Structure 1
Amino acid sequence: MTQQQSPTSFTELPYAGVGRRLAALVYDLLILGGLLVVYGFLAMMVASVFGGLDCRPDELDYSPCVSGPLLQAGMILVVAGYYFWSWRGAGQTIGMRAWRLMVASPEGVQLSWTQCVMRALVAPVSIAVFGAGYFWGWTRTDRASWHDLASDSQVRLLPKPTKK
């Protein structure tokens, strides 16, 4: 019985399939939900101290507390910050880590800021059209989704860790 050689570089790793990528996205949505709850709590604290919130719980009207362009911009920054920090730092989000996925340029180099921005702009579109941007990967041998193509990046499947 011959033993397979483990890949030595990013370019030798197999491409990640659509199912794993969507599973990692679900994990990341759970993490993002927690981060947004913490952000919302902190934003409410700051707004109540400095902005004099006018919440009306008797009328079940919480819109003055949880709305506004500043709060929404902060939420976008939290989501973008999570992905940018993960992609630029380790090439993996927490969900990608759980499913052994890694994103990098085709040469195996860490994503640039421009690539991160392109992924972040096109990925919501990939989902918004009923996941067509992700399912596009089924039609390609490199399993690339729309945001991979737009950002010139690849998602690869990492090998299982060896047991000692």
Structure 2
Amino acid sequence: MTPTIKRRLTAMVYETFLLLAVEMLAVALFLIVTRNNHAPVFQYAMKVWLFVVTGAYFTWGWTNSGHTLAMKTWRMQVVTTGGARLPLRMAIVRYLLAWGWFLPALLACTALGLKDKAQIGTAVAVGVLAWGLTALFDRDRQFLHDRLAGTRLVQLPKPVKAGAPAEAA
């Protein structure tokens, strides 16, 4: 069963907070290694570093257990369309395609020379909304990046509590 769009978006908000902690640690490590050098090359290197760390976080979770901590909390798992665990290549493709949530808006901001935080925030919000709406047009209610990557999110059943009576069949 596919999780509801509301459930997936709620998990994404939770994921944002968890990812923030991971990236704060990555930035601290980067600053220690580069001795807090602010030369332009290091500014670009930090962006590349965060892109790689974020990708490693997601692809490791998706290939190892099928979910990240936020997905586990909300009882969701990403699998292939056949229901199997994701191979590394498919997880990387899914990660790159998931940038569709943000990349078109960020590219538009760059092309239009937008610098104001409110304008950038609005553009990103519109981009996220547009990408999120793709699930409404999908027969299985999957987001576009999952459809393109050949993956799908599935809802996991509630765990059975220890000592709870078994349901009658």
| Length-normalised TM-score, structure 1 | 0.76
Cα deviation for residue 64 of structure 1 reads 4.3
Q: Which residue of 1 aligns with 2:83?
A: 108
Contact 1:36 1:75 in 2 (8 A): yes
Letter in 2 for 1:154: R
Tell whether 2:51 aligns with 1:76: yes
Greater RCO structure (CA 8 Å; 6+ sep) = 1
Hey, which of these two has a bigger chunk of helix by percent? 2
Instruction: Give identity over the alignment, percent.
Output: 26
**DSSP-derived class of the 1:92 partner:** coil
Contact in 2 for aligned 1:86/1:93 (Cα 8 Å)? yes
Superposition pairs of residues 15-164 of structure 1, within 5 angstroms: 15-48=2-35, 53=37, 63-64=38-39, 68-127=43-102, 128=105, 129-163=127-161, 164=163
CA-based RMSD of the aligned residues comes to: 2.0
For the residues of structure 2 that align with 1:68 and 1:126, how far apart are their CA atoms? 23
CA deviations 1:59-108 (Å, max 9, x no partner) are xxxx5499522111111111000000000000001111111101101221
Describe the shift of the 1:66–1:38 C-alpha distance in structure 2 as closer, same or farther (beyond 3 A): farther
SS at match of 2:34: helix
After TM superposition, the structure 1 stretch with the greater mean CA deviation from structure 2, 134-143 or 81-90, is 134-143
Partner Cα separation in structure 1 for residue 20 and residue 140 of structure 2: 31
SS of residue in 2 equivalent to 1:147: helix
Paired residues, number: 139
- Change over 3 Å in CA distance of 1:72–1:15 after alignment to 2: same
Unpaired stretches in structure 1, ≥5 consecutive residues: 1-13, 54-62
Matching residue's letter, 2:50: M
- In 1, distance between residues paired with 2:132 and 2:66? 19
Q: Which amino acid aligns with 1:39?
A: A
The aligned amino acid for 1:143 is R
1:131 and 1:121, CA in 2 relative to 1: closer, same or farther beyond 3 A? farther
TM-score (normalised: structure 2): 0.74
**CA distance in structure 1 between the aligned counterparts of 2:130 and 2:91, rounded to whole angstroms:** 20
